[in-house]
Amino acid sequence: MTTPDGLLRELRAILSPVSLITDEELLRPYECDGLSAYRRLPLAVALPEDEAQVVAVLKACHRAGVPVVPRGAGTGLSAGSMPHPQGVLLSLTKLNRILAFDPVARLAVVQTGVRNLAITELAAPHGLYYAPDPSSQIACTIGGNVAENSGGVHCLKYGLTLHNVLRLRVVTIEGEILELGSHALDAPGYDLLALLIGSEGLLGIVTEVTVRLTPRPQAARVIMASFDDVRKAGEAVAAVIAAGSIPAGLEMMDQGAVAAVEPFVHAGYDLEAKAILLCESDGTAQEVAEEIARMLAVLEQSGANGVRVSRDEAERLRFWAGRKAAFPSAGRISPDYYCMDGTIPRKGLGEMLTAIAGMEQKYGLRCINVFHAGDGNLHPLILYDANVAGQLERTEAFGAEILSLSVALGGTITGEHGVGFEKLNAMCEQFTTDEIRAFHAVKRAFDPPGLLNPVKAIPSLHRCAEMGRMHVHQGALKFPELERL
């Protein structure tokens, strides 16, 4: 076991002087990710420039028994890359090279710190793009997307990160290099590629990613439909899908969200509507015309009291700009906001929104709602002011109640933002003791000493028992074998 000073000496030998930060003032920008409510300073920030340095840093930390927290662009929303106070924060942004691009094979091999949008920019001249488009795509890295299994507004039709990554190079805490998946469509043995994607940096450090590129559809148009009732909008979504369409994008915003974005973006949204739907079709021009006509008929039958179809690309982008600006707009109308990420079976939408309206009264806080309606992923944005005593605590309680209801409705506590540090307690509601034990055992299979991103994503059984909420799950008390204080 090395001392922290000993480890820092070793890291200085591995990294160039500008690639190791220990000065408190320079550590400060790394104290949190996109969820700024949780902040800590790390022991040091390491910024390796290639895979060999990643291996050397991990081996040194492994020998020293020091935790390692990986970080991409720091746009995460669940405090997944919040530093460990005794640990090294491993920033991977310098691994930002495109290693190979093959338009015939429709794939790109990129280092982990390459930005999501940079891949699409690279492929665009060949009529190809990288399909997953999380709203942070200008900044977020592909390695971060792999860690979170990121989606975006088009994933109902084009899939999540999982469906668009073919192969990963991963370094274990022991410094071993693993190649998971392949440039063929599968690989022998257990599907460790699927296991790594969405594992939030707990199993290994991704250094290289092969992504599948998708041919850019020739045309795309989007319908904007207004509804005078949120439930009607939810039913319209179900009707579109029942009619046999998989829209390229299917998003809902409630009146509060529309009111927040419209003055900011001037997207042309209907401020009188209780909810608006954005419903996109892509493909050949004829195909889009056919599908738009089919979806329009269904939306009108479902009680839409206003529909507009984008007339050109500029208008289509404007309709989307409002949706994509929902989070910054919330930041404009409120000092702070807290974004939730539960996914529910769509049929529970009405019940969820009614319950959220009740919670607004109960906690004395406003909440605006944006919703990846096609796949049931809900993003309520709770508006608060951290400078007002008690508001953060009320906000957290409000969020926890939304997540409890997501589980009760048959859904999940996180659709795409990850558990991170933020939702550890909520994990105790979704999984049993045995399941959480299995997750810890899976982690140990990759990371026996438990040094990679500890105290994230999977709660300790102790934490679950101590939560003190005594959840009754499917008629049985959870963790019955544990004592309660």
Partner 1 sequence: MSLETFRERILKGGSLRIRGGGSKDFYGGPLAGEVLEVAGHRGIVSYEPTELVITARAGTPLSELSHVLAERGQWLAFEPPAFGGPATLGGAVASGLSGPGRASHGALRDFVLGVKVMDGEGRELTFGGQVMKNVAGFDVSRLMAGSIGTLGLILEVSLKVLPLPVAQATVRFELPEGPALETLNRWAAQPLPVTATAWEEGLLTVRLAGAEAAVRSACDTLGGERVPEAEATAHWLGLRDQTRAFFAGDAPLWRLAVPSITPPLDLPGATLIEWGGAQRWLRGEQIAAGIRDAARRAGGHATVFRGGDRAAGVFTPLPGPLDVIQRRLKAVFDPRAVFNPGRLLPDL
> Taking contact as CB under 8 A, which single stretch among the options 8-16, 134-142, 170-178, 354-362 is the one that binds partner 1?
170-178
Rg, the chain, Cα only: 23
294: amino acid identity, one letter: R
User: Which of 393, 435 has the CB closer to partner 1?
Assistant: 435
Residues in contact with 134: Cβ distance below 8 Å, sequence separation at least 6, in sequence order: 116, 140, 145, 150, 151, 152, 416
Minimum separation from the CB atom of position 412 to partner 1 (A): 4
397 forms part of the interface with partner 1 (CB under 8 A): no
Per CB under 8 A, which of residues 326..345 are in contact with partner 1? Answer: 343-345
User: Which of 39, 216 has the CB closer to partner 1?
Assistant: 216
User: Which of 345, 364 has the CB closer to partner 1?
Assistant: 345
39 forms part of the interface with partner 1 (CB under 8 A): no
Per CB under 8 A, which of residues 65..94 are in contact with partner 1? Answer: none
148 forms part of the interface with partner 1 (CB under 8 A): yes
d(C-alpha 55, C-alpha 68), whole Å: 12
Per CB under 8 A, which of residues 107..136 are in contact with partner 1? Answer: 126-128
198 forms part of the interface with partner 1 (CB under 8 A): yes
User: Which of 445, 477 has the CB closer to partner 1?
Assistant: 445
What are the counts of helices (DSSP H) followed by strands (DSSP E) for the chain? 18, 20
Minimum separation from the CB atom of position 435 to partner 1 (A): 5
Minimum separation from the CB atom of position 243 to partner 1 (A): 8
Q: Is residue 88 within 8 Å of 453, Cβ to Cβ?
A: no
Q: Is residue 137 within 8 Å of 117, Cβ to Cβ?
A: yes
Minimum separation from the CB atom of position 136 to partner 1 (A): 15
Instruction: Single out the residue of 112, 8, 109, 9 nearest to residue 51, CA to CA.
Output: 112
Minimum separation from the CB atom of position 340 to partner 1 (A): 13
> Taking contact as CB under 8 A, which single stretch among the options 2-10, 31-39, 54-62, 235-243 is the one that binds partner 1?
235-243
d(C-alpha 27, C-alpha 43), whole Å: 9
> Taking contact as CB under 8 A, which single stretch among the options 236-244, 307-315, 317-325, 465-473 is the one that binds partner 1?
236-244
220 forms part of the interface with partner 1 (CB under 8 A): no
Q: In this structure, how many other beta carbons lie within 10 angstroms of the beta carbon of residue 446? A: 20
Report which secondary-structure segment, H or E, holds 161. helix 161-164
Minimum separation from the CB atom of position 128 to partner 1 (A): 7
38 forms part of the interface with partner 1 (CB under 8 A): no
458 forms part of the interface with partner 1 (CB under 8 A): yes
346 forms part of the interface with partner 1 (CB under 8 A): yes
Report which secondary-structure segment, H or E, holds 52. helix 51-64
d(C-alpha 76, C-alpha 86), whole Å: 21
User: Which of 27, 464 has the CB closer to partner 1?
Assistant: 464
Residues in contact with 276: Cβ distance below 8 Å, sequence separation at least 6, in sequence order: 224, 225, 226, 227, 233, 252, 253, 258, 269, 270
Q: What is the SS3 assignment for 221?
A: strand
Per CB under 8 A, which of residues 260..319 are in contact with partner 1? Answer: 283-284, 286-287, 289-291
User: Which of 225, 413 has the CB closer to partner 1?
Assistant: 413
Minimum separation from the CB atom of position 21 to partner 1 (A): 30
376 forms part of the interface with partner 1 (CB under 8 A): yes
Answer for which of 154, 323, 379, 423 binds partner 1 (CB under 8 A) is 423
Minimum separation from the CB atom of position 247 to partner 1 (A): 11
> Taking contact as CB under 8 A, which single stretch among the options 33-41, 267-275, 316-324, 437-445 is the one that binds partner 1?
437-445
Answer for which of 45, 192, 223, 359 binds partner 1 (CB under 8 A) is 192
163 forms part of the interface with partner 1 (CB under 8 A): yes
Per CB under 8 A, which of residues 40..59 are in contact with partner 1? Answer: none
- If 0-12 CB within 10 Å is exposed, 13-18 middle and 19+ buried, where does residue 483 land? exposed
Q: Is residue 320 within 8 Å of 222, Cβ to Cβ?
A: yes
Q: Is residue 198 within 8 Å of 84, Cβ to Cβ?
A: no
200-216 burial, b if ≥16 CB within 10 A, otherwise e? bbbbbbbbbbbbbbbee
